[in-house]
Amino acid sequence: MSESPDQMGITPFDQLTVLNGYSCLTRQAGHLVDRNQFSNRHFTIGKVEVLIYVDDVILVGNDANKISETKSFLNKRFSIKDLRNLKYFLGIEVARTEEGMVLSQRKYTLDILEDAGMLGCHPSPMPMEQNLKLGIGEEEDRVDANHYRRLIGRLFYLQATRPDVAYSVSILSQFVANPRQTHLDAALRVLRYLKATTGQGILLPKKGGSNLVAYTDSDWLGCPITRRSRTEYLLLLGGAPVSWKSKKQSVVSQSSAEAEYRAMATTVSEILWMRWLLKDQENNIPIVFFTYCNLVVFCCCWVMYNSIGQIVDGLAQ
C-alpha cells in the first residue's frame, strides 16, 4: 500500500471495523490482543480474515464476494496493489500442491548461505552434533560478535517454517554477547544442515482433520552453565505444525520428573491458547487434544476446558 504507517496512524484499519463489518482478534474476556488481524464472519455466507503487517495485507476466506468488496474498500482508502493469489509474504514462499499448501523459506535460506560464504559447503545430515554441550568457552578464541549476532538473528526468523532447527538456534542464541570459536563452529554446522535441506518447509494438508496433537519433552540439566533444563514442544493441527518452542526453564529442576512436568505445564498452556484461538475463529468442528510426553499420555475433548485448566494449575505447582 502507498500510505506509510505514520500517515495511517496508530490504528490504520479502524475504519475497516466500523464501515465494513470487521472485528479485531480479542481474548475471551474481551481484551484486545492483536490489531493486526481482523475477521468478518457470516455463517450463512462465509468468513474472511484480514492479516496485516505494516503495509502488507493478506486476505483469506471462503466468501469471494466479501473479499472483492474488502479489496475495493482498501483501494479507496489506501490505493493498494492487488498481487492476486498468495505466493510470497515476508520471506515465506507459498506453493500449492495436490496435497495442500507448502510454506518454505528457500530463497531466504540461500541468502543466509550466500552471506556466510557457505553455498559450496559440504552438507550435514544433522543440525547439531549429538549430545553436544556448549559452555562459555573462556579458553576459546573470540569471534566477530556482530557477525555472530547477525547470523543467529537470521536463523531465528528461519524458524518460522523450520521447527527442525529450533533446538539448535535456541542453544546458540545463549552466546550472542560473547561468542567463541566453538559457538561459531556449531552455527556453521547448522548452515551445513540447511545446505542439505534448502527446500524443506511446512505442509498444510487439505484433508488433515481437526485433531490437535502435542508432543513435549525436556532435557534435564541440559545447560551446563546454569544447570537448568530445557522445554521443547510441538503442536500439530490436522497433521500440520502450528506451534513449537525450545527454551530453557526458569528454575533448576531437582529431578527429571520435575523437568518433564514443567515442560508439560508449558505445553498445556499453549494448547489452551490454541483452543482459544480456534474458538475465536468460531470453528464449530469438535477439537480433540492429544498430548504426549515421557510421563503421561492423555486425551480430552474441547468441551472439557475447565478440566484442562485444573491440570495446568496442578502441573505448575
pLDDT in tens, 247-299: 999 999 999 889 988 998 999 899 888 888 777 766 655 556 565 666 544 44
Angle at 157 between CA 278 and CA 107, to 5 degrees: 110
Q: Residue 127 in contact with residue 193, Cβ under 8 Å?
A: yes
Within 10 angstroms of residue 249's Cβ, the number of other Cβ atoms is 21
Same domain flag for 157 and 238: no
User: In this predicted structure, what is the pLDDT of residue 298?
Assistant: 42
Residue 97 domain flag: no
Residue 93 domain flag: no
Same domain flag for 191 and 236: no
Within 10 angstroms of residue 295's Cβ, the number of other Cβ atoms is 13
Residue 95 domain flag: no
The residue out of 145, 168, 196 marking a domain boundary is 196
| 3 state SS of 149 | helix
Cα separations (Å) of 110 from 44, 105, 115, 116, 121? 45, 9, 9, 10, 12
For the segment 161-181, what is each residue's pLDDT rounded down to a tens digit? Answer: 999 999 999 999 999 999 999
Cα separations (Å) of 282 from 40, 59, 158, 239, 287? 11, 17, 30, 20, 12
For the segment 95-133, what is each residue's pLDDT rounded down to a tens digit? Answer: 999 999 999 999 999 999 999 999 999 999 999 998 888
Same domain flag for 170 and 257: no
Same domain flag for 308 and 249: yes
Residue 202 domain flag: no
Residue 201 domain flag: no
Within 10 angstroms of residue 85's Cβ, the number of other Cβ atoms is 6
Residue 23 has pLDDT above 80, yes or no: no
What's the average model confidence in pLDDT over 182-204? 95
Average model confidence (pLDDT) for the chain? Answer: 80
Angstrom distance (rounded) from CA 232 to CA 169: 13
**pTM beyond 0.85, yes or no:** no
Same domain flag for 179 and 261: no
The whole domain housing 140 covers: 103-196
Q: How confident is the model at residue 16 (pLDDT cuts 50, 70, 90)?
A: low
User: In this predicted structure, what is the pLDDT of residue 18?
Assistant: 47
User: In this predicted structure, what is the pLDDT of residue 246?
Assistant: 93
Same domain flag for 191 and 217: no
Same domain flag for 215 and 307: yes
Residue 89 domain flag: no
The residue out of 57, 84, 111 marking a domain boundary is 84
Same domain flag for 221 and 146: no
User: In this predicted structure, what is the pLDDT of residue 274?
Assistant: 86
As for how many domains the chain has, the answer is 3
Same domain flag for 309 and 215: yes
What's the average model confidence in pLDDT over 223-234? 92
Cα separations (Å) of 33 from 2, 13, 37, 265? 26, 15, 9, 23
What's the average model confidence in pLDDT over 66-82? 83
Residue whose entry in the numeric block shows the C-alpha cell 534435564: 220
User: In this predicted structure, what is the pLDDT of residue 314?
Assistant: 52
The residue out of 176, 196, 216 marking a domain boundary is 196
Same domain flag for 36 and 120: no
Residue 96 domain flag: no
Q: Residue 182 in contact with residue 134, Cβ under 8 Å?
A: yes
Residue 192 domain flag: yes
Same domain flag for 74 and 23: yes
Burial category of 69 from C-beta neighbours within 10 Å (exposed 0-12, middle 13-18, buried 19 and up): middle
Same domain flag for 163 and 225: no
